[in-house]
Amino acid sequence: MRTNQFGVSVTNKRTNQRIINAYADANNFYEAWCAAYNETTLELQRIEQAQETGGTFWDAGDEFDVRVSLYYTDLKSGDEHIFRMNADSFSAVSTNPYEAMAKAFNRVLDELQKHISLPSFGRKEHYIGFESRHYADVVSILAAIAPEENKDKLKTYEQSLKTIEAQPYFVFINKENLNGPSIVVPDGYLHISPYAFRGREDIIDIKLPCGITQIYQFAFQNCKNLRNITLPDSLKHIGTHAFENCKSLTSITIPDGIESLGYNTFYGCDSLQNVSLPKGKLEIRGHAFNFCINLKEVNIPVGTVRVDSDAFNGCSAMQNIFVDTENAVYADIDGVLYNKDRTLLLRCPEGKSLEELRVPDSITEIGDEAFSGCKHLQAIHIPTATLKICIKAFRAWHTTFQRGDEAGYDLAYDGIERISVDEENETYADIDGVLFNKKLTVLIKYPTGSAQIDYTVPDGVTTISDRAFEGCAALRSVTLPESIAHIGYNAFYKCENLDEINILANTITCGDKAFDSTAWYAHQENGLVCIGNTVYTYKGEVPENTRIEIAEGMTGIAGGAFVNQKNLIGITIPNSMVNIGESAFSCSGLSNVAMPNTNINIGHGAFSCTPYERKIEYDGK
């Protein structure tokens, strides 16, 4: 018997980069549909988590083109080639890859419904979880209401359901029996469908029966008044975002059968104070408990094998992460999380209040997110043994804010005022509490919480690292010496009071957004903005059909300087130009470049996704 094939392609329209190709062969349409949908969802989640740790798969505002295709040859039902679908007929575009994917899949569902004569999806009063047509809901519909005369078209119907563990789901439950404030789910059901109770603010208490094995993604998201839920011992899986923004939930006990807490599982549970984790094998993945602002401590049990560095971001009251002494992977010292051998510092809790954290002498590496958001930690001392401080050890993370009617995103920074290093350390050094490499040629980290308003970078420093000064609110003036050759990405980003920048060097390379969100940048007029001999950016929107001539004497163009400037069609670059930064003209309308100097250092993707790039490829240059 020949099989069906269901294919999904997710493409970033800005870069024309194909992010995901998911294909599934199956015995019937629905099995293939479910497998491909599930694989694509999981892959997007993996990519999103990779992006949090430094990937560059997409940027905010990128558009995603999701194309879906399903083909089959013969189901031996006596009706060969019931229908075909092609990729062009079922596509959707959105700036959210999940939304684009859902739209494309839903179009396929609508077509499937026509061909097997299913009753309308509109009868929501009889079902739970139909706000979004995710694969769990579709199979539950088929299990419950597929007409007998159509079952010969689903040759391996029962096998398909068993394969994806989809029966019986929530079907034939009248909505009036599931109204709040207290809900008792009847016995006999295995799963809570995706989005099943999402946004139900009337619910205060939920009782789940023994036998429930899976709670799917978004199942209880935004149940803002949910105070009590008992998870049964039969539970094996909790999906991503399952309890996100359950703001009244004060306590949760995770059953021993749970082996993974996924992305955003308990994100934004403001009132959560007590969490009991299972003793068996457990992975706590990124953002699982982010912004649980009243969670003061957590106890990592003996069987936990993975705790992502960003699992507790935004837990501003957390003072201790304790670890069972028998745990084979992790350990703690005074509530700070380390690996078992105490050679890697993983996470200092954000609510930890110390005048100084003296990193233990055994520590050879300080990991990403180790000190993120530690507003009450005043100073850090780095020992002799530490050979690696990960680039994101002090990274700020995004947080939401609400000020009256205004809502949005902001960045949460640490409050560290001083970083000192043991004199015998062979990799790092400090000068007056500022972190450098041992040779004093790279300024790695200026302490975010420093009260100093003026700073002069020492002579001999050639590089300001990415994010080195980011978020330094007190800083008003900075002087960079003649030795400076490179200023990294976001180097002075969000130094909101930084108004004076003195660059003594003649030639520098400058990363994207190095001086964005500073007082200096706010005071610049719209148009071409330069800093020293470097073209920093074009502030505002370039007028239609603009050609820009850069003045002789300018030596650099910063990374991302003209990114997304669709009206820029031409640029004249002078003989004095030495460096063009990464993505300098990316996604602009640039079609003509006059560049007499052929010895210019051109950064990665400087002309990517422009008519000029396509012209170069066509001409074979």
Beta strands in 348-447 (DSSP E): 357-358, 365-366, 379-382, 388-389, 397-403, 406-412, 418-421, 428-431, 434-437, 442-445
Which letter does DSSP use for residue 77 in this model? S
**Per-10-residue mean pLDDT for the chain, 621 residues long?**
58 69 58 62 66 56 69 38 43 69 64 44 27 35 40 35 31 44 79 77 90 84 93 90 95 93 91 96 92 95 94 94 97 97 96 93 96 94 96 79 54 90 97 98 97 97 96 97 95 96 91 95 96 95 95 95 95 95 93 89 91 64 46
Place of tokens 């994207």: 512
Q: Structure tokens of 177?
A: 């029996």
CA nearest neighbour of 373 among 336, 417, 331, 415: 415
Angle at 606 between CA 605 and CA 607, to 5 degrees: 90
Question: CB of 102 within 8 A of CB of 35?
Answer: no
pTM comes to 0.72
534 CB-side CA count, 13 A: 30
CA distance 180 to 201: 9
Tell me, what's the pLDDT at 613? Answer: 83
Tell me, what's the pLDDT at 70? Answer: 55
CA distance 329 to 411: 31
291 CB-side CA count, 13 A: 18
Residue burial 40-74, b: 16+ Cβ < 10 Å; e: rest = bbebbbebbbeebeeeebbeeebebbbbbbbebee
At residue 414, what are phi and psi to the nearest 5 degrees? -75, 170
Q: Structure tokens of 212?
A: 């429930």
Question: CB of 588 within 8 A of CB of 568?
Answer: yes
Strand, coil or helix: 54: coil
CA distance 343 to 19: 36
CA distance 73 to 203: 48
Q: What is the C-alpha radius of gyration for the chain, rounded to an integer number of angstroms?
A: 28
CA nearest neighbour of 508 among 496, 491, 525, 520: 491
How do the residues of the chain divide into helix, strand and coil, expressed in percent and rounded to 5?
Answer: 15, 25, 60
The residues that bridge with 402 in the sheet, in sequence order, are 407
Tell me, what's the pLDDT at 620? Answer: 43
Question: CB of 593 within 8 A of CB of 616?
Answer: no
Strand, coil or helix: 538: strand
Question: CB of 569 within 8 A of CB of 546?
Answer: yes
CA distance 397 to 48: 15
Strand ordering across the sheet containing 237-238? 191-192, 214-215, 237-238, 260-261, 282-284, 304-307
Question: CB of 245 within 8 A of CB of 269?
Answer: yes
Q: 403: Cβ–Cβ under 8 A, 6 or more apart, which residues?
A: none
Place of tokens 């001539």: 549
Q: Structure tokens of 274?
A: 């007590």
Question: CB of 31 within 8 A of CB of 163?
Answer: yes
3-state secondary structure 598-610: CCCEECCCCCCCC
